[in-house]
Chain A
Amino acid sequence: MTPPDDIGAGGRRPARAPGARRLTRHRLFWPATFLASLLLGNVAFTHDFFAVRVQNGHLYGSLIDILQFGAPLILVSLGMTLVIATRGIDLSVGSTVAIAGALACEHIATAKDPGSLPTVLSAITLAVGVAAAIGLLNGLLVARLYVQPIVATLVLMVAGRGVAQLITDGQIISVSSSAYKMIGGGYWLTLPFAVLLAAALVAVTSFVTRRTALGMLIESVGGNPVASRLVGVRAAGLLVMVYVVSAVCAAVAGLMISSNVSSADGNNAGLWIELDAILAVVIGGTALTGGRFSVGGTVLGALIIQTLSTTIYTLGVPPETTLVFKALVVMAVCLVQSPAFRARLSRRRRPAASAPAVGDAGVRQQEVHP
């Protein structure tokens, strides 16, 4: 095609956004700003908030705590991100956390040598394998039977918690296994092992989704399922895959949580974590309507929520108001991220700043005489 080159967009001046505008438009700008201000705000109350000490070759400090206690949430949110990107949602992750912890602890507690590595490895395999089966079930319900994701995963959210209680007989199973303790409470290369594990899984997920076509195809299925079918994207396979990944992430989170406290609690482990994870994903800039997802945003979102919980404890907010406090902060984050809300704010701040000049400013109209 040979368009004359003096026309159209060719002759158009590009409207460059100034550097600052471009920065605020970056999708991670608001979550990152919010996390930073939350952390800085803590310094006002805890002066050594940013201090990191080395003790026995391990790093200690509030920041390290946030990372360590936030690791399970980061993992659950990671899997949730992929599910949400396909327009789905996975409510069963909290139960999967509980089931994984219960299975692993039960296996170790009844083993002959709870401390040995083979026992722990088989416990991990068992927990992750069962979680994968749960994910497969969710995925098949959604992809093959077209059950709404919220309904499909609600089944296991409710039933799964019951299963976890059955495994533990409604008791709290305690284990004493130093190898198992490593996952959620151990240190490696001065850092908590849980942080390294979460970081590794985040890195692998970003790498696989962005270096293969997986990310784009997931976004395509979530962005427009009808069109995706017509371009030949194999949506069913992708859907099953993301639910399995989500369940496996939840299982690893469950192992971390139970390992950290050396016990499994079928009633309370991972309770409501699915809601925090959904929140983390949304704060991170992935829309519940599916499509574009951001693993980096999700990690920031999870850290925001964890920092918030830590802050609430250090501030000594009375327990009966913590939930309200958390809700208020989360609402603020969501409002700041809403373009409609920001537009409204800025419109109020400069009413008619660009008030039109009366007169034919710049109009080159050819008068029409009858």
Chain B
Amino acid sequence: MAAPPGPRTPTRTDQPVLQARGIRKAFPGVLALDGVGLRLFPGEVHALMGENGAGKSTLIKVLTGVHPPDEGSVSVDGSLQRFAEPLEAQHAGISTVYQEVNLCPNLSVAENLLVGREPRRLGLIHWSALYARAARLITELELDLDVRLPLSAYSLAVQQLVAIARAVDLEAKVLILDEPTSSLDRDEVAQLFSLVRRLRDRGVAILFVTHFLDQVFDLCDRVTVLRGGRLEGEYRIDELTPVTLVHRMVGSELRTLDELAETSRTASAAPVPAETPFLSARGLARSGAVQPYDLDIHRGEVIGLAGLLGSGRTEAARLLFGADHADAGGLRINGERTDLRSPRAAIARRIAFCSENRKAEGLIAELTVRENIVLALQAARGWARPLSRARQDEIAARWTEVLDIRPADPEAQVRNLSGGNQQKVLLARWLLTDPELLILDEPTRGIDIGAKTEIQKLVTRLASEGTAVVFISAEIEEVLRLSHRVGVLRDHRLVATLLNDPPLTPDRILGTIATGATS
């Protein structure tokens, strides 16, 4: 296709490659979509925006044959389509990366990339060709992976990239990406965007969901906004400013973007370091995961962990929780030597760890929101001392309100919640255990900008009340906004621990990551 490079605005004669009209989709108890339409033109990057639970992922699932719509139609290149399953949509040229990565963790990266279209020879899989082709795909995305390793050897962010690489390879005319950037750092985001621009210039239509406003203004040509399951409107990006876009999404004139963006940075003053830190790690290490590191965490202190993808942030944090067992070094809690043999032991020492991988390591999908929220507390009490049902209801109701979990139905199965709301359920689970050390690994992943600010405020408030917090995020700005000190990791090594006063800049952090210099 010989489309001119650069963003295009559709002309009236253009026909949408993908068009949805009057889509309605109800789930028991929830009307997820009500009369929603969407038009995607060739060669455009189109953002689908809305708050958590607005219906973005559901719309994508309806477009691609995961859910049949109750009403409404989907047409591809002007002809009506009823996809009975995602594979049919894929054959019609619609390639999709869903919000929850749907790959097989125990297969190799290469198999995940090419499953269903393995190169064959005499009917048998041609393994060397498979690995070669997979490696080529990976280098195109400027990734550095061993395609023969099982996918589970890599972090969630890498798995997300593999899912994208797989989708991109599918020779599609429509590419749908549901929150692809939620756990990527700047570099990967930049790589993904340049790939998306290349595809757009080839005439591919791209539908893109994100909660990062700057990414929308950076990349997208047009925007469709959903609010509470209804279509709010379709706009050209130059008709909008970040402020008006947020107004369209939340439907309120009260919140200005300034109010949202301004989270009093380190609102809690840096704590006066006590004699003994709450937790102190000396030479803590695990081979293949983290090199020996020292870290003191005081009560009331927020320590950010920054570093690139695969730098060992998560691995370092897991040792502090006993999720993995350290094979060298030691831990002291309140000055007392301890060996955290299991998460259970860490929880008994009032440590909480909210994993970045909510599907695999967080949620119990078929249990209810209430059960998921009380689970950590109940597990700590043991089965013989049940929380009364009234108590559980009260806890669930309170946290549903505090974190604004929607739908506000504690008896909903947690798997039916939208991604952002699932994340809030996990946060509630750990916050209510009233920990002394709270380890948050990508706590705002997939959370909309309103709720994100609330969560950041909550972290600040907890710290000012004396909780120690370890905060991990791919978004450096967020780490700097909240942390008193920032630990910088590079190649599985803690290279520096920087005081965030006077305020550090993202460039300073990136510089430290690049040079690995200690200060």
Contact = CB atoms under 8 A, between A and B. Distances in A.
A329 to B, nearest CB: 28
B397 interface: no
B416 to A, nearest CB: 13
A224 B422 CA distance: 15
Interface in A203-250: 211-214, 216-217, 219-220, 223-224, 226-234, 238
B251 interface: yes
Interface string A340-364: 0000000100001010111111111
B28 A25 contact: yes
Contacts of A17: 28-29
A152 B291 CA distance: 38
Contacts of B381: 213
A217 B379 contact: yes
Contact of B82 (A212, A352, A362, A366): A352
Contacts of A10: 228
Interface string A90-114: 0000000000000000000000000
A12 B71 contact: no
A370 B382 contact: no
B28 to A, nearest CB: 5
B35 A212 contact: no
A339 interface: no
**Residues of B in contact with A, size category:** 35 or more
B406 interface: yes
Contacts of B408: 9
Contacts of B84: 347
Contacts of B263: none
Given A219-B364, A370-B10, A4 B254 contact: yes
B30 interface: yes
Interface string B190-211: 0000000000000000000000
A341 to B, nearest CB: 14
B71 A7 contact: no
A20 interface: no
A368 B250 contact: no
B235 A292 contact: no
Contacts of B387: 213
Interface string A2-18: 01101111111111110
Contacts of A219: 364, 366-367, 371
A365 interface: yes
A7 B50 CA distance: 11
Contacts, number: 200
Interface string B376-390: 101111111111000
A370 B11 contact: yes
A160 interface: no
A223 B379 contact: no
Interface residues of A, number: 56
Nearest to B358: A227
Interface in B409-437: 429
B80 A216 contact: no
A230 B353 contact: yes
Given A226-B361, A231-B375, A356-B80, A8 B343 contact: no
A369 interface: yes
Contacts of A22: 28
A14 B29 contact: yes
Interface string B8-34: 011110000000011010111111001
A369 B343 contact: no
Contacts of B128: none
Interface string A279-304: 00000000000011000000000000
A6 B51 CA distance: 13
Interface string A49-87: 000000000000000000000000000000000000000
A1 interface: yes
B162 to A, nearest CB: 20
B321 to A, nearest CB: 8
Interface of A: 1, 3-4, 6-17, 22, 25, 211-214, 216-217, 219-220, 223-224, 226-234, 238, 291-292, 347, 352, 354, 356-366, 368-370
18 contacts: A1-B404, A4-B254, A4-B255, A7-B252, A8-B228, A12-B31, A22-B28, A220-B379, A224-B365, A230-B321, A230-B355, A230-B362, A231-B347, A232-B342, A363-B37, A364-B231, A368-B236, A370-B9
Given A7-B250, A232-B343, 8 more contacts: A4-B250, A12-B30, A13-B31, A13-B34, A14-B31, A216-B367, A354-B69, A361-B72
